[in-house]
Structure 1
């Protein structure tokens, strides 16, 4: 079954230091999504965060440290939200459709979230360090997909010769390409259309009949989808800062 360990989210108000760090990191996410990693300047992040440049430098010694922590907190926020939304899904096939919906409709609004990740992919080609960060992001996304596909394989629910690793890689590559098209042409390529293409591709690769796929997708209306993404706020980031990092895991029911 899906990982049943419920995240313990602190309900107390964050302390001042955590609140300030969350404000700065929220501003950093927005600036990187808008301007890119390379062009993101501390003074612009300070302005977006509503704090002084000196305060940014107080909490983050260097620009590189701030960029690193920005990517780390974004990964943590998405990981913990994914764990919440995917809890209770016991069928591995349904989990895969749920992850498609999660990546499209997401935990944070589409333009900020996918704009942020697109900037990471672009910068990774010019920076060995950011290449390592992007690898961590892909591992975070690929792990639950591959785990669910492995369960389908061991229970003879994949077509003969189907490779879980290749299918997971294909899903993530298709997500990336469609997200860029959706960002560039939101009127021509909607998020709903992106999700439909992803689900159709997965169904074809896994040999799932249309009526079976439709049943699994419909079941998600009672679980993860259509939960609206949360606005990106310092409260969301502060929650991620205070929550230990974890990854979403899928195991067979016992």
Structure 2
């Protein structure tokens, strides 16, 4: 599964929202590609449901209403609700890692990549509410579900690894002059991202996604030992239009 394919599916679902279709689709998948596409459509809609209604709200009925597929068809592909939830978490975590890796490969220098990573930590291909609504619900479910917990842990390790690598490159190229080493600085940045995201998602302190981005950028520039204004005002063509 390519990053472009995953992003396209997610964007389609978010653009349409949770659609209710009264007529169930009863077409039959006859090729491996058709089966894969149908499964991907189901888990993409399930991810949106989780972001809005939580893991407990991700039922076969809710997904059937969102996709227009029959409950029987969804059960055919995933058997149990637990397997559907696990497949959805795997789908979204894979998409996130691919998106972050894409950002890393697109930057012209390490500071630019750090700027993009901080921006996309708030909103990337998904809106803030969809992305962080999903993550907060999955974080909560991970406490009681070992399989979800492993997916989350692996994803966070990948996320941290990209940050650490980029920080180390920026330091070796003398583009930043932080007081902390890359490991400690990554810990600070990721902790701040998670904390601000929870506050923003719940409307605490009247934070908005844009406020969160600016706060992250100002904090990071200060910790990097670089000019705050220059770092905050950096813009890239890869930034989604709803953030520019």
C-alpha separation in 2, matches of 1:202 and 1:172: 11
C-alpha separation in 2, matches of 1:36 and 1:175: 21
User: Are 1:224 and 2:238 counterparts?
Assistant: yes
C-alpha separation in 2, matches of 1:107 and 1:9: 12
C-alpha separation in 1, matches of 2:52 and 2:229: 41
String of CA shifts for 1:215-252, please: whole Å, max 9, x gaps. Answer: xx42x23x3224448xxxxxxxxxxxxxxxxxxxxxxx
Deviation at 1:59, TM superposition (A): 0.8
Q: Is the 8 A contact 2:93 2:152 kept in 1?
A: no
Deviation at 1:175, TM superposition (A): 1.4
String of CA shifts for 1:101-125, please: whole Å, max 9, x gaps. Answer: 1122211122111100011111122
Higher relative contact order at CA 8 Å, sep ≥6: structure 1 or structure 2? 1
Q: Is the 8 A contact 1:123 1:130 kept in 2?
A: yes
* SS of the residue 2:126 aligns to: coil
User: Cα RMSD over matched residues?
Assistant: 2.8
Structure 1: which 5+ residue stretches go unaligned? Answer: 1-5, 230-254
Q: What is aligned with 2:27? A: none
Q: What is aligned with 1:235? A: none
How many residue pairs end up in the alignment?
A: 218
* SS of the residue 2:79 aligns to: coil
Q: What is aligned with 2:190? A: 172
C-alpha separation in 2, matches of 1:227 and 1:85: 16
C-alpha separation in 1, matches of 2:65 and 2:217: 40
Q: What is aligned with 2:113? A: 95
Question: Structure 1 length as normaliser, TM-score?
Answer: 0.75
* SS of the residue 1:24 aligns to: helix
Question: Structure 2 length as normaliser, TM-score?
Answer: 0.78
Deviation at 1:128, TM superposition (A): 2.6
User: Are 1:185 and 2:211 counterparts?
Assistant: no
